[in-house]
Structure 1
Amino acid sequence: MSRSRITVVLSQAPGKHPAKRSLEESIVAALIMEPDLEVSVVPNLYDLGPDHTGRLFLGSVKGDMVVLSWLYPRAAFWLLDRDGIKGQFGETQLKPPSDDDDAEAENDTPVDRPEPIGPTGEIPDRHIYTLDLRDSNKYEAFVAEIRRIAKECSDRREAKAREKAVNSPAILQLGLSLNKPEPEPLAAFTPEALLAPAGRRWYPVIDYSRCTNCLECLDFCLFGVYGVDSLERIITENQDQCKKGCPACSRVCPQQAIIFPEYKSPAIAGAETGAVGGLKIDLSRLFGGDVGDALSAAVQERDRELVNDGRSAVGATIGIPKRQESQPQRAKDDLDKLVDDLDNLGL
């Protein structure tokens, strides 16, 4: 696999939805004819286990890469990162139409975030672009964007080569070849092996560009999912112990750094959101609730899974985020008084 060609990987949607399959097939059929692209198809990215051929193939790619999936771009990028498939985040220009107005609103109200801890390990000198297949129902839009990305990557490689030639002129050494030996070819990955069925999975993905290592998720989760590495950085240590459908730890994260890529709420699934308000539960739309709404939902979700596990519910007695404990008691507003009146009525 040549580093001068960009690798395009399409991650299929789980299930056999005909419209989704049709879009996937149209994109692959168009791209496979492009001379500067290497195109492969793998099952749902989120479901790939460490020994799945699709995961091994992704890990073998050394150059620039485009990954198309049915996940938000941020979720897909950090999902790859957690699997050791690292690179620079590639900016894309294909956005859903509704994002234009949202982007303007976000630019008007910038959000201050604490300094994140950032990804671990060495980041290769390559870019990974992640495209959300929900951003358009026309395959031509994705083909055009990938062609643009391929041109961008080619221009970047050429610019680096020119810079290297200027700064490091070749030195002739008698008896030695100036050409580096060709790297050994990678093992072949057959389409059948790449598309081997993958079992459905459920686990959190940490966005280290937001995570501040506050460890609130570690304190809140009582199922042993989280741990810390040798540098005392938060990691998902036992992901298979995560309870399917439960996103409670994501709700208590102050920086929205914990992603469940297939959850129904966009903020938890990895959409680009600016404020913690994106995590409010439905009642907040009626009553204008605050972050406490998300915390209450998280406590209820955790208790439900504890009971399903044969354990006792703990309510808000364990693992409540420190930022909630330290907040001063505010004066009761009209909503608080209404809730108190309802409590007094025994409703």
Structure 2
Amino acid sequence: QLSTGKKDWDKLTSEEEALLEKYDEVFEDIWDILGGGCSWYCGGGSKEVTASSYLKSQSSNNYEPKNAHDLNYKSAWVEGVPGYGKGEYLMYTFEGKSPRITEIIVVNGYVKSEAAYRDNSRVKKLKVYLNDKPYVVLNLEDKIANQGFKVEPIGNGNREDWKALETKPDWTLKFEILEVYKGLKYEDTAISEIYFDGLDVHCFAKGTKVQLADNSTKNIENLKIGDMVAYLDLETKEIKSAKIEKLEKVIHHGLVRYKFESGIEITATQDHPFRIENKGWASLKPDKSKQYKGFENIEKIYIGDLFLTEKGTDKLISIDFLEGEQETYTISRLRYGDNFIANGLIVGIEELNY
């Protein structure tokens, strides 16, 4: 109803807002784990998922390793050896340029139904290997739920030289079953999903105009470390200048286009922070934005919000959710300041809290 204009964003009931916050306007199926909105998978995802074994298909059900990374609660990987599968594993392979991981989320057991969950065995302890070296042991609870485990960033951190990043070798995460919760009927041990959240996927589309210190503009994809850009001093309300110290680039999908009363448009990821009058920093995905310095108390963007610009404010009149992939870019560190000016709007610098 929101996408067709039958319902206004500013007329949602509290119950509708709660549902939208939980499921997002882009979920297509109740079994979807993420929906079609912005996530780490907009720029990331594994290259391949394999396993030491898997149970043979039964009727229309298959239990292949890919099921553990299809972002769907209805399917599952089930190991395929006699007994409880101790020592069996899933192996996730990532490209060297893949965005970094900061959270591993496990959906333990076969969660498509309460009966399937209880009848099959579940994992109690899961040993994680990074590039075949022991990394951590995850202690899983026996419950139908997403179980998240925060980790220090995994992956290649030097992302300023994109060409060099593309030459980095693949890396792997292996998940080995150590201990299990025994099923009521079957020894087979199941994992419905292991998926990830992380960094390096929060940017603006190619062609976004960034204001420089001399009041000219430069396409964001042409910025270089050392360039002097304009930023707004939020205390004095003066436009000042600062040197770029770090840039980011990633191929991204799930972007949104914000349109404003003045005719300005900007295409960005859903968690990129914007400065809003009487609200402070805000994004469409505030929970995702909180990983960046200075955005721990970030608010949510709504149609009708007044976005700060270099000259005052501009009213947001629509939000379009875009399909397809695009190259995206952002500034992740300036010598001074926590923002820059993109298409005339005050936008946040996404420097990590790590």
TM tier, smaller: under 0.3
The TM-score normalised by the length of structure 2 is 0.23
The TM-score normalised by the length of structure 1 is 0.23
Larger CA Rg, structure 1 vs 2: 1
Greater strand content: 2
